[in-house]
């Protein structure tokens, strides 16, 4: 496993739309392992492949809840319910935080690393994180949609 360089806001790769994963091979599994390492090392709760310069639809998330580490390959949000506003940050936008409105509850389908179709229903932080990471796959950062932005954790 190895740590990957995280692309920062301003890097054009973060504005691109990522391509679906065509084949779940050794290379992809290594990328997922390295992404998880990189996320943990930087105290993040999620990381999307474009943040490490790979324009493919792969995401890792660990909100330190009962779900733990999840790897989402070709994720698709199939259902959204309610609205919630809360503070977000992003490893690609260090030291900046913002208030972002998201669906309060989502259902997402994705492939796991064995190529099996998975369905997950999430609310709270996990739902927020799934939406934030899926936005990265569309080339969108939270600062593009935040209601307000501030430096540091405190408002
Ligand atoms: Co992010």
* Residue at 103 is within a domain: yes
Ligand 1 center–CA 132 separation, angstroms: 6
* Residue at 31 is within a domain: yes
**In percent, how much of the chain has pLDDT > 70?**
99
CATH of the domain at 60: 3.90.45.10
User: Which pLDDT value is given to residue 152?
Assistant: 83
How many domains does the chain fold into? 1
Ligand 1 center–CA 97 separation, angstroms: 11
Cβ-count burial 24-34 (b if 16+ within 10 Å, e if not): beeebeebbeb
- Is residue 103 predicted with pLDDT exceeding 70? yes
3-state class (DSSP) for residue 52: helix
Token pair, residue 34, equals 């390295």
* Residue at 57 is within a domain: yes
pLDDT for 20-63, tens place per residue?
999 999 999 999 999 999 999 999 999 999 999 999 999 999 99
* Residue at 6 is within a domain: no
* Residue at 131 is within a domain: yes
Respond yes or no: is residue 66 known to be catalytic: no
Residue 56 is part of which domain span?
12-151
* Residue at 72 is within a domain: yes
Ligand 1 center–CA 114 separation, angstroms: 25
User: Which pLDDT value is given to residue 42?
Assistant: 97
User: Which pLDDT value is given to residue 97?
Assistant: 97
Q: Within 13 Å and on the Cβ side, how many CA atoms surround 38?
A: 23
* Residue at 1 is within a domain: no
Of 71, 88, 109, 133, the catalytic one is 133
* Residue at 2 is within a domain: no
Ligand 1 center–CA 137 separation, angstroms: 10
- Is residue 100 predicted with pLDDT exceeding 90? yes
């Amino acid at each position: 496993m190895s740590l990957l360089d995280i692309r920062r806001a301003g890097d054009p790769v973060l504005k691109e739309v990522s391509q679906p994963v065509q084949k779940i091979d050794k290379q992809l599994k290594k990328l997922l392992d390295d992404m998880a390492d990189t996320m943990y090392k930087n105290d993040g709760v999620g990381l999307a492949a474009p943040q490490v310069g790979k324009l493919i639809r792969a995401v890792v998330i660990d909100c330190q809840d009962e779900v733990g580490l999840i790897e989402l390959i070709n994720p698709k949000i199939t259902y959204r319910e309610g609205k919630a506003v809360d503070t977000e940050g992003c490893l690609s936008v260090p030291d900046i935080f913002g208030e972002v409105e998201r669906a309060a509850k989502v259902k997402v389908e994705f492939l796991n690393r064995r190529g099996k179709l998975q369905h997950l229903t999430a609310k709270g932080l996990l739902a927020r994180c799934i939406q934030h990471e899926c936005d990265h796959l569309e080339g969108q950062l939270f600062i593009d949609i935040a209601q307000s932005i501030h430096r540091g954790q405190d408002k």
